[in-house]
Structures are given as C-alpha cells and as structure tokens.
Amino acid sequence: MIQACLFDLDGVIVDTAKYHFQAWRKLANDLGFDFTPEQNEMLKGVSRIESLKLILDIGGVSKTEQEILELAEKKNEDYLHFVNQMDQKEILPGVESFIQDLRANHIKIVLGSASKNAVKILEKIKLIGLFDAIIDGTKTTRSKPDPQVFLMGAKAVEIPNEFCVVFEDAPKGVQAAQAANMYAVGVGEAQVLSHADQVIEGFDGLDYGFIKSISVKA
C-alpha cells in the first residue's frame, strides 16, 4: 500500500516555470540571443547551473566556470524578484486540499525538487508546514533524471521506495521516479509525459481515494 507521496515543486505545486523562463530569456537577450518557450521545456527539472550551460550552448556562447557562476547568480536575482511577489494565490488548483486529505489519511508528504529556492517558495505560499521532509537542490548533488532526490526523500520518511508515489510535471522527473522504483504520476499533458505510470491534468477533485486505487508491485 502507498505510504508516501513525493511532490515536485515547480510546475506541480506552483507555476514558477513562467518566472524561470522570463529570467532565463532576459539573460539570453542580454548575451545577444533569444531563448524560446519551446527551448524552455527542456529545462524543466534541470538544476540552475545545468540549465545555464544548456542555454549557453543554444546561444553558442562560451564562458569560464567563474563567469557561469556569476551569470547563474544574476539569473537567480531576477528570478527572486518574481518569487518575492508570490503568495498563496499561486498555489495550483486542488493541490493543497489533496495534500491535506493525504495527511489526514497518514500518508507521508515529501518535497522532491531541484530548486535551491524551494524553502523560500514554500514559505511564501505558506505550505511549508504540510511537509514531513523537504529534499531540494541544497541537499542533492545529482540532477533529475538521476533518482537521488526521490531516494533521499523516501529515506527521510523511512518508507520503502516501492510504497512511494511521485507527482512530476517534467519527463526527466518521471524518469527519476521510475529509476527510484516509485510509481510516477505525470501532472500535465499525456503526450509530453507518455512514460508516466498515469497522467493527470491537475489536482482538482483528487483525494485520498486516488492514492488508494494505486496498486504497487511489492
């Protein structure tokens, strides 16, 4: 039986992808090239530095490791400008009541995000108290599709991997969940998340019954 649910943050609990995109596009434009919404799709779930390296490749721009760190810092300042204006209105529909119902049914709730800004965002939207464990980009060393973030999450709440469900909006996150031997629920479009065990459009109307209906192999 499922005993823990692991949630990605960006694109699952809040729609911060649009803010990441605006900050990355500004960085690309400042460097003299454009960065499109389609190219942004590839960056979902990818860490800040790896995202920057992919963007520099797109622009055909080469930078030293020191310059890369400085550019990443600058992008994060621009991104935080948006984050600082966030509030509870930015929580995606249905996810808060879903998590509350899971908690009422003794399911452990874990955050599994690549973001180093996760705690700040959860505080801004006032959901931080709902999590039994938070594994974010300040704790991991390997980016999704590596399963590290989810393996650490399951360990933190002492639940075997096969009794965990992951909610992810990024194909790389779905891959990470499956590499961790967890049940992967894709949140978003079925074509984009075709490798997920199940795809949902969003959390509206979902409750503990959804989790109860998942049968795991173990």
- Interacting stretch for ligand BG6, rule CB under 6 A, among 30-38, 95-103, 107-115, 205-213? 107-115
- What would the two tokens of residue 59 be? 């622009």
The verdict on 28 binding ligand BG6 (CB under 6 A) reads: no
The verdict on 10 binding Mg ion (CB under 5 A) reads: yes
Name the amino acid, one letter, at 134.
I
- Min CB(1)–Mg ion separation in Å: 26
116 contact, one of Mg ion, ligand BG6, none, CB 5-8 Å limit per kind: ligand BG6
> What do you get for the CA distance between the two ends of the chain, in Å?
9
The verdict on 8 binding Mg ion (CB under 5 A) reads: yes
**112, 137, 153, 188: residue in contact with ligand BG6 (rule CB under 6 A):** 137
- What would the two tokens of residue 192 be? 């984009």
The verdict on 185 binding Mg ion (CB under 5 A) reads: no
CB-based contacts of 29: which residues, under 8 Å, 6+ apart?
Answer: 35
Name the amino acid, one letter, at 218.
A
- What would the two tokens of residue 149 be? 């973030």
Q: Active site residue: 8, 57, 101, 197, which one?
A: 8
The verdict on 136 binding Mg ion (CB under 5 A) reads: no
Q: Where in the chain does DSSP place strands (E)? A: 4-7, 108-112, 133-135, 164-168, 183-187, 198-200
- Interacting stretch for Mg ion, rule CB under 5 A, among 32-40, 140-148, 169-177, 188-196? 169-177
8 is catalytic: yes
10 is catalytic: yes
The verdict on 193 binding Mg ion (CB under 5 A) reads: no
Count CB atoms within 10 A of the CB of residue 165: 23
Cβ density class 103-125: b for 16+ within 10 Å, e for less: beeebbbbbbbbbebbbebbebb
Active-site amino acid positions? 8, 10
Chain contacts with Mg ion (rule: CB under 5 A): 8, 10-11, 169-170
Chain contacts with ligand BG6 (rule: CB under 6 A): 9-10, 20, 43-48, 51, 76, 113-117, 137
